[in-house]
Structure 1
Amino acid sequence: MNLSPYQGGRRLLTTSAAVGVAGLVLTAIGGAFDARRALYAYLVAFVYWLGLALGALILLGAFHASSAKWAVVLRRFLENVPGVIPLFIVLFIPILLGRHQLFPWVDPGALEGELRKAVEHKTKYLNVSFFLVRAAFYFVSWIVVAHFLRAWSLRQDAAGGVTLTRWQRRLGAGALPLLGLTMTFAAFDWIMSIDPRFYSTIFGVYWWAGSFMGAFAVTNIAAFATREDPNQFGAYLNLDHFHSLGKYTLAFVAFWAYVAFSQFMLIWIANIPDEVPWYILRINGGWLWVGVFLALFHFVVPFFTLLQRAVTRNPRRLAWVSAGLLVVHWVDLYWLIMPHVHERGPRFTLWDLTAFVGVGGVTVAMAVLRMRGTLAIPVRDPYLEDSLRYQPQ
């Protein structure tokens, strides 16, 4: 196959980097006026973009674990997306510096009543030192797995053979429990601990389900956007690839709804005082309408839309649906985090936008940088030809 290393994307890289830096600077300026509000907006953006990268990494591991041949042509894109995770170590610094504004458990002496008792009960887990150790472990785990899956794949472009395929499959499959557990505990630490009284063992799965769906959505959009470029992976996908991607997107739209409903149902039926107030806050006042919006546009509308072959076999339509899902996924994370700032309902500010484009801009720039200089598909993978001829039975 006559394929050249990808050298495009310079304009996207520079534009994304410039927009990202501007967004981060504006968010920092916003922090000078209202530090707490700006930090919460930043946290939403942080877990949104990091979640997409982790979703792509877990998807890559799942494809290796299942020995999926049809997805080989997608693999290089999924290897490059998690390459942005080292950037999030730097982006984690504002969360660390602003921990007093974000997490009540950081300063238990300033709390009173029920909240103070909840924090004191969990102090062995919710303390700054252990919080930092866990964060370091999460990032190291994610970076090591992502690095070796990509490095072995790039080495295979020159060496060929099946040995490196076996290594990738063993690491991809073996790392899935680690990736799942670290993402779960990261959700506990960075999102759920905003309210130390609340606990839900399914909370990490909830974040993962939305992020995993988002990883498919990002792949759908990227595949459509690169269909005309022979040096990008989208040019090598046929309609059956898009159809399968659409079906997986549909499956995880339904899975997110299942997890969301399961968490709500179990907590509501159990009626435990530590858990129910978390939902009461989100079904009263203006937040109720955000929940209704999520039920409709995170599940009902995309579910019935993606049931149609006219959508899943049309790359443009699938990309539009995927873009909508990415927007709704941000609303979902906003609904998880922002009620702790504005109890009566959503209050959108400029910092919500600047934080989103700030973190997103530098993340996209980093992803494009990782793609440049590499082949868009694993040209010497022994199963590439099967993938290129993919036609489901």
Structure 2
Amino acid sequence: MSESAPAINFSPSNIRGDALSTPGTALRILGFAILVIAFVMGMRAQDQGLFLRTWMQAWLFVTTISLGALFFLIVHHITHAGWSVVVRRPAEAIAANLQWLWIGFLPFVFYWWKGELDFIFPWANLDALKQISAAEAELVAKKSAFLNDKFFMIRAGVYLVTWVVLARFFVGNSVAQDSDGSMTHTKKLEKWAGPAAILFGLTTSFAAFDWIMSLNPAWFSTMFGVYFFVGCCTGGFAYIGIVCLRLQALGYLKGIITTEHYQDIGKLLFAFGVVFWAYIAFSQYMLIWYGNIPEETAWFLARQIGEWRWVSVVLLFGHFILPFLFLISRWTKRWRGTLLFACVWMVAAQWFDLFYLIQPKIPHDIGVYDTYEQILAHYSNESAHFFSPWNWVLLVGFMLMLTGSTMRRLSSMGLLCIKDPRLNESLRFENM
């Protein structure tokens, strides 16, 4: 730490983002219009299952980014961190999106109301599943106490309400402190950060089980909740870096967010988004490979056939090997251009990871083949639908909504936690 705080420009032009409001509103309206049109067209699509899986993928992409930002806030308050005060407001603006992201789940409520939830979740219609695969239907029927549509919707409501409450609590108290400067807000946030972390872990884990793992209801992995959590960190930490860098490129927060803060954002991204992700992904694969249980191995086999084989290879290189080599140096984390590139890359890697998790469908007859080579040969033409228009239309729509809403939040809340008691510590922060 240095001895004294540098001279900082706290003028409104540096710490207020009022000019972000109008373009933010425009982006949000455009994104919403795209999503409404896409949903109307999706209901008439020939393959509604593909449309709903892609909607889930795009919606979870922006949701995991916001959840990652919320986790950043929780960790900040649990650890009484000082360095991250100057980057906390951008994180709060991203996490605040959880207060409207529940709207993205409404299409699944609509299909449930129509009795057509089985377009995406096979367990929602056991009779239809039995006609396709009696053995799988029998196995899934044993999980019906958990995998039934009413309980599924109740759980979804619990997850979404919990995230709304947590986002409102952490963001609301921080903004209130800007007005009254009371230390009470800091103490309250630190007091409840521990219970919030437990709620966060439980809800994100079970949401992963419900919304992704149950797409293939016969499959299970006890590590999947942690895998989903790491994805939240990947997208959230990377997006925080992008927002901070873009704000400074627009002329805000000059002299406030420094190279030292960017290096620590890069450290978090490297630790969680690269190393920890690889550790969890390898551990899950290794345990399933070693156990060699058909209900488990089929999930990975479906990701090694046809075009999915190349998707798996790209994910390995794109999410671990290349970013590991790129971010292991401290200089790529300290230089703004290279860090921005890394953050954009890792946000894309998180989207690609969700594509890998959600889109493949396990062939119902995959267990009838005697050898691995027979499976590869039979399904050599399996398409990944990577260039499906739904992939890109829904991605653009949700990202416009996320970006526009984040800009609106920043314009209304201010760009800096101006009365946080640890602000001076953050301004003086230096890496050892």
2:67 is paired with a residue of what secondary structure?
helix
Task: Write out per-residue CA displacement over residues 220-244 of structure 1, whole angstroms, 9 at most, x where no aligned residue.
Answer: 11111111455x4575211111111
Give the partner amino acid of 1:2: S
Alignment of 1:212-227 (within 5 A): 212-227=233-248
Aligned to 1:353: 392
Per the normalisation by structure 2, the TM-score is 0.87
What displacement does 1:20 show?
Answer: 4.0
Aligned to 2:319: 298
Task: Write out per-residue CA displacement over residues 168-224 of structure 1, whole angstroms, 9 at most, x where no aligned residue.
Answer: 112222210110110000000001001110011111111111220111110111111
Alignment of 1:133-172 (within 5 A): 133-172=154-193
Q: Does 1:102 align with 2:120?
A: yes
Aligned to 1:7: 18
Gaps of 5+ in 1: none
Residue-pair matches, total = 392
Alignment of 1:109-258 (within 5 A): 109-112=127-130, 113-229=134-250, 232-233=252-253, 236-252=256-272, 253-258=274-279
Give the percent of matched residue pairs that are identical in Structure 1 and Structure 2.
32
Distance in structure 2 (CA, Å) of the matches to 1:67 and 1:181: 23
Q: Does 1:263 align with 2:284?
A: yes
Distance in structure 2 (CA, Å) of the matches to 1:351 and 1:359: 12
Alignment of 1:337-348 (within 5 A): 337-340=358-361, 344-347=382-385, 348=387
Distance in structure 2 (CA, Å) of the matches to 1:128 and 1:80: 33
2:80 is paired with a residue of what secondary structure?
coil
Aligned to 1:86: 99
What displacement does 1:60 show?
Answer: 0.8
Aligned to 2:75: 62
Give the partner amino acid of 2:106: I
Task: Write out per-residue CA displacement over residues 281-316 of structure 1, whole angstroms, 9 at most, x where no aligned residue.
Answer: 112222111111111110000011001233111112
In the superposition, relative to structure 1, how do residues 245 and 339 fare at CA in structure 2: closer, same or farther (>3 Å)? same
Tell me which structure has the larger Cα radius of gyration.
Answer: 2
Q: Does 1:50 align with 2:63?
A: yes
1:63 is paired with a residue of what secondary structure?
helix
Distance in structure 2 (CA, Å) of the matches to 1:43 and 1:227: 33
The correspondence for 1:313, drawn from 311, 334, 346, is 334
What displacement does 1:390 show?
Answer: 0.7
Distance in structure 1 (CA, Å) of the matches to 2:301 and 2:248: 46
The Cα RMSD (Å) is 1.7
Gaps of 5+ in 2: 1-9, 112-116, 364-378
Task: Write out per-residue CA displacement over residues 11-64 of structure 1, whole angstroms, 9 at most, x where no aligned residue.
Answer: 243034314422441353143123222111111101111111111101110111
Give the partner amino acid of 2:156: A
Distance in structure 2 (CA, Å) of the matches to 1:233 and 1:127: 50
Aligned to 1:391: 430
Q: Does 1:368 align with 2:380?
A: no
Distance in structure 2 (CA, Å) of the matches to 1:27 and 1:311: 41
Distance in structure 2 (CA, Å) of the matches to 1:164 and 1:11: 31
Distance in structure 2 (CA, Å) of the matches to 1:86 and 1:288: 37
Q: Give 4+ residue runs of structure 1 displaced > 3 Å after superposition.
A: 1-5, 232-235
Distance in structure 1 (CA, Å) of the matches to 2:40 and 2:50: 11
Per the normalisation by structure 1, the TM-score is 0.95
